[in-house]
A and B are shown apart, each in its own frame.
Chain A
């Protein structure tokens, strides 16, 4: 029976998905629950398991194509065979039987670095963030070599248990992480193009550019120089594409799916929302002291580091309540003011940026925010963020100070009206209200805003309100 697989809804607010990579091609057999396609939505990749066992008849959606949820993406000829251990998938049932629509089951985010997690703090370079890991497809039937009739009767046929659907071995994933080799750039020499441990070691020895050059040189002789030892530059073929600038070409880093999406959204944001920028400086001496007093006990009690971030977000949600226009989206029908206050926090994960969301942040205490943020940061580090962790933000906070910046002009998350930064906390001599000079911990808070929605008055009002709230926070408060 032919089963039509549709694009699953990867999260409650998601309306479309992009086919990042087909893990199977037409004619391949697929087991129920076996991953057969990688789908990406905003910054998250998910492997979609097959809802039935069968043979892939047709892949309707192309790699890179974005389709609405519920749209057909593939057809699988379901195989209804007596399931015996020694039975390989037999011939597909006659197609043309009544067709059935099956939404692919809810998929979980891809974690190609899963097996590395034991004691690993950093995922495989390019492991999760949209880089399709190498995969190979087992032939429809894994016949065992020289397996005898007697052995077959024993169910020993599967010479290589787990052949079907094997993607990368634990050793490959570990070595890729240790040598910082991006699997996407390695050509597999194993069975069916599987990347072997030796392939990783060879790639590591060749250095980063070699793998890249090898993949490019096939269609672009321009880059062969990068792979070859630096001897005389190769003669330029007449058909060569123009080089970028006159500099000798070095490394060309292919775009990962995540990089591509980030680029798209940044451009979209800058092109649609006229960004305006403003800044206040905040005296965080008291709140800093409060944090210092609480942090050890807090970490002991909850296992989460108490940073300035939850105090800041608490002040932000209070200011948003006072200036609800800052918590809105510009639409052609009007300004949609959001009832929910969902604060996104920008986190650098590996080489990418992710912005998971603290839902209903306005309903959380400082402690609640700290725990929610801690969980999201931990998930981000472990590549465990799901689509729902990343959807639905209404306002964003970006801790640019973590990298030592004291001024930043952030780009809005598309659809949001404001994004604020917490810059580095710096001790400075400050002239106080009574003209005395004191050493205070100062922090700049920068904000980019969508000028279609609000003007300077609201923006400055919001920031001043935020500054007042932060400066009023102190050791007498409660978490």
Chain B
């Protein structure tokens, strides 16, 4: 980690490096920013995201906490309400449940409850998702558990450039943000990232590939598979548009509807299980707004409704959606 970043051009990095450099720059740029969580200090985080931060920024800004998620978030809420910019880390999304009340019952309601006297500029980062042999307690997707909650922003970018822009926007945001990082993309996804400080507006989806025949909305690790699948289908003359949702709540209706009105067909792909997932909300929104543009039923390709991802490789593979399955779903919808 070089303390002096170049300010122009781009550099290539992985998703995990994008998280690390963005956090580092934020700590260096704004002294109100601090990081707290399990093993973020001397251990430098389980993915080495905060390696060296403790030495560079000291124990008051890089705080190791006990294994107590409710306290991590609860304390961070207090700090945020009093003017600091805490970035709380939940080591794995699977451990977030004890903090549910603090996030939903406190953080998300702070501005409303205080009639605007207080805000809660808090970022909660957490790695989520499966496909890395993380088994029952290191594989879960939690977005649908939180996206019902007004007052809470949920971001799930999947490229390094989007991670940097949206993490900066999340730190700036005066209200609480749940920032989801798909752990399988940490080292498997690499891309160009603009140097220097920038933000990406919260609530904007991004058309990662344009197409004519089918619109696909996805996010996280699935997004990269969807792009692969769409590129494979180009050879068959099937033209698929791939939209990266990026911001789960607020949801970018405009981009999705524009795309669906063009292709008239929609496929939603997410690793989280189907029932009551993000895809259900997107489906409902499109059915309400664009019924008379649809030339096929809206389809969802999602994880199965089983309680968790198994450790055994066949079980994990069964849970994760294969790129082949995506190709097939896109092809059949295009043909419909």
Contacts and interface: CB of A to CB of B under 8 A. Distances in A.
Interface of A: 115-116, 118, 145-146, 148-151, 153-154, 156, 159-163, 166, 169-174, 190-191, 194, 196-197
A172 B325 CA distance: 28
Nearest to B325: A146
B29 interface: no
B301 to A, nearest CB: 9
Contacts of B291: 115, 170
Given A151-B304, A169-B295, A171-B294, A160 B336 contact: yes
A88 B193 CA distance: 49
A154 B306 contact: yes
Contact of B304 (A156, A171, A191): A156
B319 to A, nearest CB: 8
A376 to B, nearest CB: 28
A160 B336 CA distance: 9
Interface in B321-336: 322, 324-325, 328-329, 332, 335-336
A147 to B, nearest CB: 9
Given A145-B328, A146-B324, A172 B295 contact: yes
Contact of A160 (B292, B295, B299): B299
B293 interface: yes
Given A156-B304, A196-B295, A190 B335 contact: yes
A156 to B, nearest CB: 7
Contacts of B292: 115-116, 118, 170-171, 173-174
User: Which of B292, B328, B329 is the most central at the interface, judged by chain A CB atoms within 10 Å of its CB?
Assistant: B292
A176 to B, nearest CB: 11
A146 B297 contact: no
A194 to B, nearest CB: 7
Contacts of B332: 145, 159-160, 191
A191 B322 CA distance: 24
A197 B306 contact: no
Contacts of B329: 145, 159
B243 to A, nearest CB: 19
B306 to A, nearest CB: 7
Given A169-B295, A196-B336, 18 more contacts: A115-B291, A116-B292, A145-B325, A145-B329, A145-B332, A150-B318, A153-B304, A160-B296, A160-B297, A160-B299, A160-B336, A161-B297, A170-B291, A170-B294, A171-B264, A171-B293, A174-B293, A191-B335
Contacts of B274: 154, 156
Nearest to B293: A171
Contacts of A171: 264, 292-295
A159 B299 CA distance: 8
A123 to B, nearest CB: 14
Nearest to B213: A198
A149 B299 CA distance: 19
User: Which of A115, A153, A196 is the most central at the interface, judged by chain B CB atoms within 10 Å of its CB?
Assistant: A196
14 contacts: A115-B291, A145-B328, A153-B304, A160-B336, A169-B264, A169-B296, A170-B291, A170-B292, A171-B292, A171-B293, A171-B295, A190-B336, A191-B332, A191-B336
A145 B296 CA distance: 17
A266 to B, nearest CB: 37
Contacts of A172: 295
B46 to A, nearest CB: 29
A228 B329 CA distance: 38
Nearest to A116: B292
B288 interface: no
Given A148-B318, A190-B336, A162 B297 contact: yes
B336 A197 contact: no
B225 to A, nearest CB: 14
Nearest to A196: B295
B117 interface: no
Nearest to A192: B336
A146 B264 contact: no
Interface in B273-295: 274, 291-295
A153 B305 CA distance: 9
A146 B330 CA distance: 13
Contacts of B319: 150
Nearest to B331: A145
A166 B335 CA distance: 15
B313 to A, nearest CB: 14
A35 to B, nearest CB: 18
Contacts of A160: 296-297, 299, 332, 336
A151 B328 CA distance: 15
Given A160-B336, A170-B294, A197 B264 contact: yes
Contacts of A153: 304
A154 B299 CA distance: 16
A343 to B, nearest CB: 38
Interface in B246-298: 264, 274, 291-297
Contacts of A163: 297
Contacts of A149: 318
A154 B305 contact: yes
B285 to A, nearest CB: 16
Contacts of B293: 170-171, 174
B275 to A, nearest CB: 9
Contacts of A145: 325, 328-329, 332
A150 B314 CA distance: 11
A145 B328 CA distance: 7
A277 B128 CA distance: 85
Nearest to B298: A161
Contacts of B306: 150, 154
A151 B296 CA distance: 22
Contacts of A191: 332, 335-336
- Nearest 9 Cβ contacts at the A-B interface: A197-B295, A171-B295, A174-B292, A169-B295, A145-B328, A154-B304, A150-B318, A170-B292, A154-B305
User: Which of B264, B291, B295 is the most central at the interface, judged by chain A CB atoms within 10 Å of its CB?
Assistant: B295
Contacts of B264: 169, 171, 197
Interface in B181-209: none
A194 B324 contact: no
A374 B329 CA distance: 49
Contacts of B304: 150-151, 153-154, 156
Nearest to A161: B297
A309 to B, nearest CB: 34
Contact of A194 (B318, B328, B336): B336
A200 to B, nearest CB: 9
A191 to B, nearest CB: 5
Contacts of A115: 291-292
A94 B294 CA distance: 40
A153 B315 CA distance: 13
A149 B325 CA distance: 14
B294 A169 contact: yes
A173 to B, nearest CB: 8
Contacts of A170: 291-294
A81 to B, nearest CB: 23
B166 to A, nearest CB: 32
Contacts of B318: 148-150
Nearest to B333: A160
Contacts of B296: 160, 169
A156 B299 CA distance: 11
